[in-house]
Amino acid sequence: MNYPVWYLPLIGGPLIIAFVAIIHVVVSHFAVGGGLWLVLTEKKGYRENKDYIVDYVKKHAKFFLLLTMVFSALTGVGIWFTIALIHPDATSHLIHTFVFGWAIEWVLFVIEIVAAFLYFYNFGKISKKLHLLIGWIYFIAAWGSLLVINAILAFMLTPGKWIATQNFWDGILNPSYLSSTAFRTFLCFALAGSYGLMTATRKFKGEQKDELVKYNGKWIFWSLAGLIPSAFWYYSTFPKQAMEGLAGSSAIMVSSLWHLIISLGLFILFLILLYLWKTKRFGFKSSIAMFLTIFVFFGAFEFIREAGRKPYIIKDYMYSTGIRVADFDRIKDQSILQNSKWTEIKEITPDNAVKAGGEIFRIQCYACHSLGIKNNINKKMVDWDLKKIRRIIGSLKGITPFMTEFAGNEVEKDALAKWFYWEIHGELPQEEVEQGGALDGPALFESFCSDCHENSPDDPLFLNTSDVIEIDGMMDILSRLNELNEDMPPFEGSEEEKKALAEYIIKSRSKK
Amino acid sequence: MNNLINIIPNPDALPVAAGWFQFLLQFTYYLHLISVGIMFTIAVSMTVGYFKGTSDENWLTFGKDMGHLLPFTIAFAINLGVAPLLFIQVLYGNFFYTASTLIGTHWILLVVILILGYYAAYWIAFRVSGKHRTKKYLALFTSFILAWTAFILVNVNTLMLKPSLWKGYFSHMGGLHLNTGDPTMIPRYTFYLFLLLAIGGLFIAVYSKIKYGKEKSKPWIAFGSSLSGYSCFLTLPSFIYYMRILPHNIREVFLTGDATWTIVSVFCFFGLIITGYLALQRRIIPASAIMSITLIIFVIMRGKVRSLFLAPFSEKFSTVGTNTQYGVMILFLVTLVAGLALIFWLLWKTHKERKS
């Protein structure tokens, strides 16, 4: 809206964010869980007087040092760069609201780094007590930064009272804050345990391996004992629309949910195997596979969280396109081009319509769609004629509640439709060519209704018209579609087509 | 001008008065600048050490030593960069994001490149069995990456000052828009490269003095302080050239137009000369003291240049809103002080225990 868009249409913003974010969240959660793992395991080593355990911890510490220092810090800056490039309006808003939250996180991060260095370089060089204390400080600082940053992530999904008060603490202590914090914390522990398992199976043999595999198994067991209930708790604090998405209204969310469930199931299965096999046969390969399942679980979860927020970037406050909810209706009535700073064309003429359409795509659709790998809409539109493209643009919200209506005027909808058509076919259609003749019921249904309705008896299209048995009655309904539901486009076919479709609907219903 | 105002994104409101953020921005930037100077010079010295070390055992030892320091200094330089990055977004986010979008692809690649650079540094330092030849070239690679990072940052920081150059967006939206068309960019960059070496050279001299003992430290003190001294003098041509090509009204302020700012720019200029002189005299402690003060003046001056460049667009500056957060700011300041206290306590305690 306000900002230029970093425009790489073949890749698309969401994919870039997903790529950087997934690396960052896994690594940073890992660093938190690893903090606790290090101190507790070190303590175990001292308590039981086992040098090989202390040694094992030391090796881990080196890895964590490398990991938190580099990956966590750099990808953390990276994710920040990325969202600022792809959602500058929202990032600016978040920064201005939570700047001191981030500033506190930064202090914690400085502590984390210093503590990590001291911890690693002073194994055996200072008293055990002080060394453990440094370990604890590392863990607490790392977990503290999770407390801060997760507040902001949770805020984006459930801003709660903040919408009305705009108060910092209302934003931080939002409805899903505690539940998501619990969930993420246990996830951190599960990750740390799974990593410990990998190194234990790789580095040790015989009894020592047995012991450490069991030890890490116990870690994972207790993490899961916290993770599963907190997942349900977290779910209960989801916004309603996200719950509906998971229940079936969003194909992407449902498929992510399956990934989530299956990967968790496999993870648990591995844990059971670990005990059944009495750890003997549980080797490095099994532990890698186990680690991968928790990784997939994590990815699926983040996907659900991101998808559940759509069409908002900050729920109920700002859309993914950077348009504030409060401005939406005004822009829709006026013009998207005139209300966006970074468009070349402000006034559409027949000559510049296609180009203007491209600009509209960039500011209205590119936030979620690309022309390439991910969520490519051109592919879906290949068989559509201009009229159909135009009709769908007029009723985006009807396709899925995860899109808003088009935020612009009628001329702009035309321009966008033309641009899509031109992108796909390289030319505009010859005007006034009527494709007559096709009075075929299924084809009409396919062309006019199937984007939002399924051809099955439990779809509202059939359910809610079950009392209409006359063709005339059905034709009347077809004439009033946009009155029945504001997200539905009016029927645009000819009278004959209307009749044919009405007949088809009644006939196919009675068959079913 | 009017037209330009229209493409500048609208600002969001600040949670506390702008002055606080100015202070935090400049203060944390000062720390970042010093840490980057140290990091960059260590990387360069490591590279020199490894190259000369092919035939000279002493240089090799020195190069290795620098190599051991490098990963830490990278970690701290990045870490201390996060804070000013945060505060500049609060004050000038609408300018900064726009500039970073124009240069988006380079900008995002910095992350990738820095990860590579860090790993290279780490590998050089900790892979004992690594080949000398590989290390030599990796060291060069790391130095190059750090210099490139500075280059991109200078690009963003100059581009954000010139909305008149932003129109280039419409001819290319994929974020490859380096600010090479801006005459102030290159002198600013070369100035920085030498300034960083001037800062870090002194660090190396002081470090060597502490670390190597009286006799052994001599060549390295000489190396560090000469590097710093010459670099100080080498900043001056860029400094003068930069001043010359500044827009008339901005240059005026620093050259006689405004008494205070004239004094500031004179202090900055002579601060560099004096530091350079003292460094070449091997008087590294006074040189470091003068350098520290000169850098404070430099940072303030740099801030002033920025606000003068942006002055025509001041209606687009973020100002404090109705919903203030002074309480939260105090919480942050308390956390900061407590955090620093904790860090110093930890360092002191560890140091004490290691000794005994």
Q: Which residues of B fall within a CB distance of 8 Å from A8?
A: 105, 174-175
Q: What is the DSSP string of A13-62?
A: HHHHHHHHHHHHHHHHHHHHHHHHHHHHHHHHHHHTT-HHHHHHHHHHHH
Per-residue b/e over A382-407, b at no fewer than 16 CB within 10 Å? eebebebbbbbbbbbbbebebbbbbb
**Which DSSP helix (H) or strand (E) runs through A392?**
helix A386-393
pLDDT digits (tens, 9 = 90+) for B140-180: 999 999 999 999 999 999 999 999 999 889 999 999 999 99
Task: Tell me what pLDDT residue A432 has.
Answer: 52
Could you say which of B13, B82, B107 has the minimum Cβ distance to residue A106?
Answer: B82
Interface touch B86/A99, C-beta < 8 Å: yes
Could you say which of B6, B93, B104 has the minimum Cβ distance to residue A92?
Answer: B93
Query: Within this chain, do residues A165 and A57 fall inside the same structural domain, yes or no?
Result: yes
Query: Within this chain, do residues A234 and A104 fall inside the same structural domain, yes or no?
Result: yes
Task: Tell me what pLDDT residue A282 has.
Answer: 82
Question: What amino acid is encoded at A155 in this protein?
Answer: F
Q: Give first-to-last CA distance, chain B, whole Å.
A: 68
* DSSP class of A312: E
Tokens of residue B110, six digits: 């910095």
* CATH code assigned at A421: 1.10.760
Global pTM?
Answer: 0.90
ipTM reported for the complex surpasses 0.90? yes
Query: Touching check for A10 and chain B: CB below 8 Å?
Result: no
Are A156 and A313 in contact by the 8 Å Cβ rule? The answer is yes
Query: Within this chain, do residues A244 and A362 fall inside the same structural domain, yes or no?
Result: no
Note whether residue A198 is domain-resident: yes
| Angstrom distances, CA of residue B298 to CA of A79, A121, B31 | 31, 36, 13
Query: Within this chain, do residues A64 and A98 fall inside the same structural domain, yes or no?
Result: yes
Domain extent, residue A385, equals 325-425
Chain A, nearest residue to B348 by Cα = A118
Query: Within this chain, do residues A273 and A289 fall inside the same structural domain, yes or no?
Result: yes
Q: Which residues of B fall within a CB distance of 8 Å from A99?
A: 15, 21, 86-87, 90
Of A297, A319, A341, which residue sits at a domain end? A319
With pLDDT > 90 as the criterion, what percentage of chain B qualifies? 89
**Cβ count within 10 A of residue B256:** 11
Query: Within this chain, do residues A140 and A239 fall inside the same structural domain, yes or no?
Result: yes
Query: Touching check for B27 and chain A: CB below 8 Å?
Result: no
Query: Within this chain, do residues A289 and A329 fall inside the same structural domain, yes or no?
Result: no
Are A100 and A144 in contact by the 8 Å Cβ rule? The answer is no
Q: Is the pLDDT of residue A512 over 70?
A: no
| B50/B212 Cα distance (integer angstroms) | 19
Of A319, A347, A379, which residue sits at a domain end? A319
Confidence tier at A76 by pLDDT (50, 70, 90): confident
Note whether residue A161 is domain-resident: yes
Q: Is the pLDDT of residue A277 over 80?
A: no
| A474/A465 Cα distance (integer angstroms) | 8
Query: Within this chain, do residues A305 and A331 fall inside the same structural domain, yes or no?
Result: no
| A27/A503 Cα distance (integer angstroms) | 59
| A291/A220 Cα distance (integer angstroms) | 11
Interface touch A134/B82, C-beta < 8 Å: no
Query: Touching check for B318 and chain A: CB below 8 Å?
Result: yes
Q: Is the pLDDT of residue A204 over 70?
A: yes
Note whether residue A7 is domain-resident: no
Interface touch B343/A166, C-beta < 8 Å: no
Give chain A's count of helices (H) and strands (E).
24, 2
Can you list the domains of chain B with their CATH numbers?
13-319+349-355 (1.20.1630)
Query: Within this chain, do residues A222 and A132 fall inside the same structural domain, yes or no?
Result: yes
Query: Within this chain, do residues A174 and A151 fall inside the same structural domain, yes or no?
Result: yes
Per-residue b/e over B44-79, b at no fewer than 16 CB within 10 Å? bbbbbbbbebeeeeebbebbbbbbebbbbbbbbbbb
Note whether residue A8 is domain-resident: no
Number of domains in chain A: 3
Tell which wins on pLDDT, A229 or A479: A229
Query: Within this chain, do residues A176 and A121 fall inside the same structural domain, yes or no?
Result: yes
For the residues B52-57, what does the mean pLDDT come to?
93
With pLDDT > 90 as the criterion, what percentage of chain A qualifies? 55
Note whether residue A4 is domain-resident: no
Task: Tell me what pLDDT residue B1 has.
Answer: 41
Task: Tell me what pLDDT residue A279 has.
Answer: 65
Tell which wins on pLDDT, A373 or A105: A105
Query: Within this chain, do residues A103 and A126 fall inside the same structural domain, yes or no?
Result: yes
- A-B C-beta contacts closer than 8 Å: 182
* CATH code assigned at A230: 1.20.1630
Contacts of residue A368, defined as CB under 8 A and 6 or more positions apart, other chains included, come to A14, A310, A311, A320, A375, A403
- 128-147 of A, contacting B, C-beta below 8 A: 130, 134, 137
Of A380, A400, A425, which residue sits at a domain end? A425
Task: Tell me what pLDDT residue A161 has.
Answer: 95
| B104/A322 Cα distance (integer angstroms) | 18
Question: What amino acid is encoded at B48 in this protein?
Answer: V
Note whether residue A110 is domain-resident: yes
Note whether residue A160 is domain-resident: yes
Highest averaged pLDDT of the listed ranges A5-9, B179-183, B225-229: B225-229
Note whether residue A431 is domain-resident: no
